[in-house]
Amino acid sequence: MPQQKKKPNGVTAAPLANWMLETNEVTRLFLAANQIPDLINIAGGLPDPSTFLDKEISEISARMIRKHPKQTMGYGPIEGLPALRDCIAKRYSKGSLQLTSENVLITTSGMQGLDLIGKVLLDPGDLIAGQFPTYLGALDAWRPRQPRYRNMDVHGADFDAVTEMQGAKFAYTVPNFSNPTGQLVKVSRRKELANGTLKTGTWLLEDDPYNTLNYDSPLPPSVIEILAEKLPEETYSGTCLYLGTVSKQLAPGLRLGWVIASKEMIRSLTLAKQGSDMCTSGITQLITLEALKSGLIEKLQPQVVDLYRRRRDVLCASMKEYLSDWFDWKTPEGGMFVWAKARDKRLDTDRLLMFAMEEKVCISPSSVFDAQGEHRSAIRLNFTLNCEDKLIQAIRRLARATKRLVDEG
């Protein structure tokens, strides 16, 4: 990216901030892929639009605007509407995890939660203990602070959270069907993470957008629940911050998320949100509240789970038929992605993306999930957006692209 731009009158524009030099060109390429005719996009983390409940949500939306014109159309409290904060506090209060609305901040999407946490916690150059490969959006959110990263190997045989979290400003984990690997963090490792944040005092971010996309077996308890069992206070006051969103439960276009944390942390995040967007849209807050109260999310979940489970199975069967000479993968138990690792570590998946685009299929190469962009021998494939026939076609095209790359050497 050029650091200086000439304006039409010949005057040199002010240079961009340094962090802008570190953005990833590959990301831009695959985000633009939807504009290419006939291309099958299995790169993004997109839900199938047929699951969006447009009729129900437009009915709720019209009703909420009629009933609450000030709340839907006006500015609201920075922390979010009290009724929605309260509803989320009650929804997550379970066993030792007891929450009040003061433990909840409503955010304009899960991404904003990540951004605000970065604003509140990171000084330039601070260390983050991350579960790599990691969510691209989190790397993007924190990039302006130019943090350093250390891998926190939650799946590793000798995982010791105290050692791995020590000295970091915060640790970041997606325990349920992580993006990009689709892996689930085991109960023993969740306990270890809770122990790590308790012993070191290092903040722990538990990012949990995929918990409703669970296809095979019941979920283990969340890390924040496990941590709460170890705390003496009645109302939650721990160092784990939990992030939720309706993006995968209802619709990403609502841009509605939440952070659950100690009251003190919620107050700090509220200050950061004030300088970000002042408040989250009232209409999407009331739609979410109504969807939660009326059980719409629970009603939708079984259909979505069935649809996506079938698509996951079709994708994996098709990968077995066409890609198994070159890649290894595990069938994910939930989420939206299959993470396939090249058997030959010399297979460069940034280059594979170029060949794949020529064959009209778009995939995510592993480099975008790595803070340094160096991991180049795996791919992330999405199975939620496209119908079964398209998924099979996509894998056939990807097999052609892989063969061409391998043959070219």
Give contact residues for ligand PMP (rule: CB under 6 A).
45, 109-111, 135, 137, 174, 179, 207, 209, 245, 247, 252, 257
- When the beta carbons of 242 and 322 are compared against ligand PMP, the nearer one is 242
- When the beta carbons of 135 and 339 are compared against ligand PMP, the nearer one is 135
DSSP characters for 276-335? TTSS--HHHHHHHHHHHHTTHHHHHHHHHHHHHHHHHHHHHHHHHHHTTTTEEE---SBS
- Closest distance of CB 165 from ligand PMP, Å: 19
- When the beta carbons of 179 and 377 are compared against ligand PMP, the nearer one is 179
- When the beta carbons of 135 and 236 are compared against ligand PMP, the nearer one is 135
How many CA within 13 A on the CB side of residue 121? 26
Pick from 220, 258, 214, 290: nearest CA to 85 = 258
- When the beta carbons of 366 and 402 are compared against ligand PMP, the nearer one is 366
Q: How would you class 351 by CB atoms within 10 Å of its CB: exposed for 0-12, middle for 13-18, buried for 19 or more?
A: middle
Closest-approach residue to ligand PMP (CB):
110
- Closest distance of CB 337 from ligand PMP, Å: 9
- When the beta carbons of 176 and 402 are compared against ligand PMP, the nearer one is 176
Question: HEC states along 1-61?
Answer: CCCCCECCCCCECCCCCHHHHHCCHHHHHHHHHHHCCCCEECCCCCCCHHHCCHHHHHHHH
- Closest distance of CB 274 from ligand PMP, Å: 20
- Closest distance of CB 359 from ligand PMP, Å: 25
DSSP state of 189: H
| Cα separation, 31 vs 279, whole angstroms | 28
DSSP H or E run through 245: strand 240-245
Q: At what angle do helices 388-408 and 349-358 cross, to 10 degrees?
A: 120
| Cα separation, 288 vs 292, whole angstroms | 6
- Closest distance of CB 111 from ligand PMP, Å: 3
- When the beta carbons of 16 and 120 are compared against ligand PMP, the nearer one is 120
- Closest distance of CB 9 from ligand PMP, Å: 39
| Cα separation, 390 vs 38, whole angstroms | 11
Tokens of 385: 């957006």
- Closest distance of CB 98 from ligand PMP, Å: 25
Residues 6 or more apart whose CB falls under 8 angstroms from that of 173 comprise: 131, 152, 154, 185, 193, 204, 205, 206, 207, 223
- When the beta carbons of 285 and 402 are compared against ligand PMP, the nearer one is 285
